[in-house]
Amino acid sequence: MNTTNNGDRLKAAAQTGDIDLLYSVIQDDPSILENIDVISFVETPLHIAASLGHMPFANEIMNLKPSFAWKLNPQGFSPIHLAMQNGQKSMVFHFLHNNKDLVRIKGREGITPLHFASQIGEVNHLEYFLFLCPESIEYLTVRHETALHIAVKNGQFEALQVLVIWLRTNTKRRAQMLENRILNQWDEARNTILHISALRSDPQALLLLLRTGRIDLCSKNLENKTALDIASTPDVKSILLSFGAKPSIEITDAPTISHIRYNPLISIIRIRRNITEEQRNSWLIVATLVATAIYQSGLSPPSGIYQVSASDGNGVNITSSNSTISTPGNAGKSVLSGYEFFLFLFINMYSFSVSILAIFFMIPYGKIGFLVASPMRWLTVSYLFSMWRISPTHVNSIILFILFSSFMLAMVIDVIVGVYIRRNINKACGHIDDGTMTTETATETTAGRIHNQ
Least confident piece of the model among 73-82, 332-341, 429-438: 429-438
pLDDT at 429 over 60: no
Mean pLDDT of all residues in 49-74: 94
Write down the mean pLDDT value for the chain: 80
Tell me what pLDDT residue 408 has: 67
pLDDT band, very low/low/confident/very high, at 443 (cuts 50, 70, 90):
very low
Distance CA 382, CA 295 (A): 9
Q: In what order do the strands lie in the sheet with 307-308?
A: 307-308, 316-319, 324-326
Q: What's the pLDDT tens digit per position in 337-376? A: 877 877 887 888 888 878 888 887 777 766 666 777 778 7
pLDDT at 11 over 90: yes
Q: In b/e form, how buried is each residue of 27-55, taking b as 16+ CB within 10 angstroms? A: eebeebbeebeeeeeebbbbbbbbbbbbb
Q: What are the Cα distances from residue 293, in Å, to 21, 351, 361, 449?
A: 82, 10, 19, 56
pLDDT at 419 over 80: no
pLDDT at 134 over 70: yes
Distance CA 442, CA 453 (A): 17
C-beta atoms surrounding 353 within 10 Å: 14
Tell me what pLDDT residue 303 has: 74
Q: What's the pLDDT tens digit per position in 245-289? A: 888 888 776 544 444 455 566 666 667 767 778 888 888 888 888
Q: What's the pLDDT tens digit per position in 292-320? A: 888 888 778 887 777 665 454 454 444 44
Q: Which among 171-180, 192-201, 243-252, 376-385 has the top mean pLDDT?
A: 192-201
Mean pLDDT of all residues in 408-422: 61
More confident residue, 266 or 28: 28
Burial class (CB in 10 A: 0-12, 13-18, 19+), 15: middle
Distance CA 317, CA 320 (A): 10
Distance CA 409, CA 345 (A): 22
Name the E strands within 47-164.
Answer: none
Q: What are the Cα distances from residue 16, in Å, to 25, 43, 57, 87, 232?
A: 14, 16, 9, 18, 52
The pTM of the full predicted model, rounded to 2 decimals, is 0.61
Domain at 3-259: CATH code: 1.25.40.20
Tell me what pLDDT residue 284 has: 84
pLDDT at 445 over 50: no
Q: Are 147 and 115 in contact (CB under 8 A)?
A: yes
pLDDT at 437 over 90: no
Mean pLDDT of all residues in 198-215: 91
- Close Cβ partners of 155 (under 8 Å, ≥ 6 residues apart): 200, 202
State the DSSP string of 250-287. Answer: GSPPPPPGGG----HHHHHHHHHHHS-HHHHHHHHHHH
Query: Closest Cα to residue 155, out of 121, 182, 114, 113?
Result: 121
Distance CA 442, CA 130 (A): 14
Q: Where are the domains of the chain?
A: 3-259, 264-301+336-453, 302-335
As separate numbers, helices (DSSP H) first and strands (DSSP E) second, the chain gives: 22, 3
More confident residue, 127 or 325: 127
Distance of CA 302 to the CA centre of its chain: 49
pLDDT band, very low/low/confident/very high, at 446 (cuts 50, 70, 90):
very low
Tell me what pLDDT residue 353 has: 79
Q: What are the Cα distances from residue 6, in Å, to 26, 264, 431?
A: 9, 71, 61
Q: What are the Cα distances from residue 12, in Å, to 15, 67, 70, 280?
A: 5, 21, 22, 63
Tell me what pLDDT residue 287 has: 85
pLDDT at 69 over 90: yes
